[in-house]
Chain A
Amino acid sequence: MSTPSPTPETEQTDTHAGRAMTAPILPGTGHSPMAGEGLTRVIAIMCFLASVALGAWMAVGQAANNWTLNLAQSLTLQLKPNAEMAADEQMATALEILKKAPGVVEATPVSDTRAASLLEPWLGDSTIIATLPLPKLVEIKLASSGSDVSALASQLTAAIPGAVLDDHSRWNNRLARFAGALRWLAFAVLALIVTASAMIVVFATRADMASNHEIIEVLHLIGAEDRFIAGQFQKHFQWIALWASLMGIGAAAIVFLAMGQISAFNVDPDTQGLLPTLAYRPELYSALFLIPVLTVVTAALTARQTVLRVLKEVM
């Protein structure tokens, strides 16, 4: 603008100039998403890691629940080949009992071909398996309540020679312990990463502040009040932290969605329940938004405290 004093003709350009003339006192505040580039990167990366840790914690928890829940609500009845009762009769009696048993939702005989395919990895070619005297299997699904597994087991063994009811408790107990340990481990990792991230945000903010020492001093000497200066810095770092943390969790969300796409191709019925499909769980995304909130608060408080401490040391 070359005209020193505003005249009616310059009114139009004034609007533009007006915007340019109220630049933030600190470099890059708010207007540029790439303000304080080093700090932005550090915060974005730490937020990404925290998001992944959060996702992992939730995934492990969910997977552990799936495993134990699936096992606890399912039973397997084995009908071993037996001289006293023919295989067909064994099966018919078993299905009859199961149909009347309280709490049983579904009882499905496992076909010979499926049984063979389950054994194939261990025994090889299914033509060999077909010649073996294999036990017949019945998969039983239970309702979440109302079943009495031990009563059912004694009823079945009394009525059918060679019947063995497997309630998976051996596996279930071990899995439950393992899942519990995994959950704690994932939580510990999450806690460590969140703590480390917060500390890094604090250190990075302070380091970035050091380069602004001259600005603090000049503002102070020309009569700015402490809370004005602290407010400027707080605003500045809030914006950086907000942008950076949104970038971090955005990147993490993309990774989660991509993983969801990959596991959607996994149609193998035997492993499907093992891998958690986190990608579309709303609670993950609402939890992710806690990360920017925490980051912004941490950065803002650090900036404010640092300015006030610096200013306390001068007259």
Chain B
Amino acid sequence: MSDGFGQGKFRSPPINAIVKFESVHMAYGKGADVLRDISFELSPGDFRFLTGPSGAGKTTLLKLLYLAQRPTQGQIKLFGNTLSQTPRQELPHLRRRIGVVFQEFRLIDHLTSFENVALPLRIAGKSLEEYRPDVVELLTWVGLGERIHEKPSALSGGEQQRVAIARAVVAKPDLLLADEPTGNVDPEMSIRLLRLFLELNKMGTTIVFATHDRYLVEAVGAPELHLTAGELDQKNMPPMPPASALGLQDTSDHPGESTL
């Protein structure tokens, strides 16, 4: 497990950086900077925890990453595109390469779990016949096989969160952003979901995972982007975890493997 989370790539010169922030500042309106002088790079297959106290700017950083906000200063490159020079009509195509698990889930209320999860595929123009097996299998894998026709209002917080995660990963994004994605589920499910993230990561998806859960951070042992009051200090090498403790290596027999 020497290279499971992209630590090797983390140090190598990032020629094909998926994300590149150069001296990015961000303020809302005329307020003070929420983020100050943020510079970092992510390569394909990187896994980063985004940590830091509440109000340190984690959600704002994610918003910049999922193209909901433009920085007030500095430059962001995404998949090789300099955002400030990318025409607005190109942005949807970039967004489709990004999966987002929003902190407040943001599921569409009147759509069932199945329809919510299928949404990114539908937007990309896929037909029901094409995506149905994948969506059903993914929902089954996150433990919602019996609830695919339920609407969000009939689901518990943890179930809604799993729907949100499934929606974020269903299109196999190149970049996966997650804001406290395991905040509402029990420890057993949070490990199961983490395994899903790691599985995607192994297949080359770059992951930024915002969390307060030190246990997860230390168990996985991936590098951190640590924000303090809007500034970044990269904690590079936390101690490696005993991988067997989480069973994270053992991914050969889970049912989601064929699609994920």
Contact = CB atoms under 8 A, between A and B. Distances in A.
Given A21-B118, A223-B95, A315-B70, A27 B110 contact: yes
B146 interface: yes
A1 B149 CA distance: 8
B108 interface: yes
Contact of A225 (B92, B110, B114, B137): B92
Interface in B92-128: 92-96, 98, 100, 106, 108-112, 114-115, 118-120, 122-124, 128
Contacts of B108: 25, 214-215, 218
Q: Which of B88, B123, B140, B255 has the most CB of A within 10 A?
A: B123
Contact of B120 (A21, A22, A223): A223
Interface string A193-229: 0000000000000000000001101111111111010
A5 B118 CA distance: 15
A21 B114 contact: yes
Given A223-B93, A315-B67, A21 B100 contact: no
Interface residues of B, number: 42
Q: Which of B69, B70, B106, B133 has the most CB of A within 10 A?
A: B106
A218 B133 CA distance: 24
Contacts of B132: 6, 18, 21
B47 interface: no
Nearest to B99: A222
A215 B109 CA distance: 9
Interface in B136-160: 136-137, 139-140, 145-146, 148-149
Contacts of B95: 220-223
Question: Majority SS of interface residues in chain A?
Answer: loop
B163 to A, nearest CB: 13
A20 interface: yes
B199 to A, nearest CB: 17
A92 interface: no
Nearest to A18: B128
Given A1-B149, A21-B128, A315 B68 contact: yes
A28 B110 CA distance: 9
Contacts of B93: 223
A141 to B, nearest CB: 68
A314 interface: yes
B87 to A, nearest CB: 12
A223 B96 contact: yes
B123 A222 contact: yes
B68 A221 contact: yes
A271 interface: no
Given A218-B108, A314-B68, A223 B136 contact: no
B69 A315 contact: yes
Contacts of A218: 106, 108, 119
Nearest to B97: A223
A121 interface: no
Interface string A24-60: 0101100000000000000000000000000000000
B166 to A, nearest CB: 13
A8 interface: no
Nearest to A219: B123
Contacts of A18: 128, 132
A183 to B, nearest CB: 49
Contacts of A314: 68
B66 interface: yes
A20 B40 CA distance: 45
B12 interface: no
A2 interface: yes
Contacts of A226: 89, 92
A163 B84 CA distance: 97
Contacts of B96: 222-223
A1 B100 contact: no
Contact of A25 (B67, B69, B89, B119): B119
B177 to A, nearest CB: 11
6 contacts: A1-B148, A21-B114, A222-B120, A224-B92, A225-B92, A228-B123
The list of the 4 closest CB pairs from A to B, nearest first, reads A223-B96, A223-B95, A4-B140, A27-B110
Interface of A: 1-2, 4-6, 18, 20-23, 25, 27-28, 214-215, 217-226, 228, 314-315
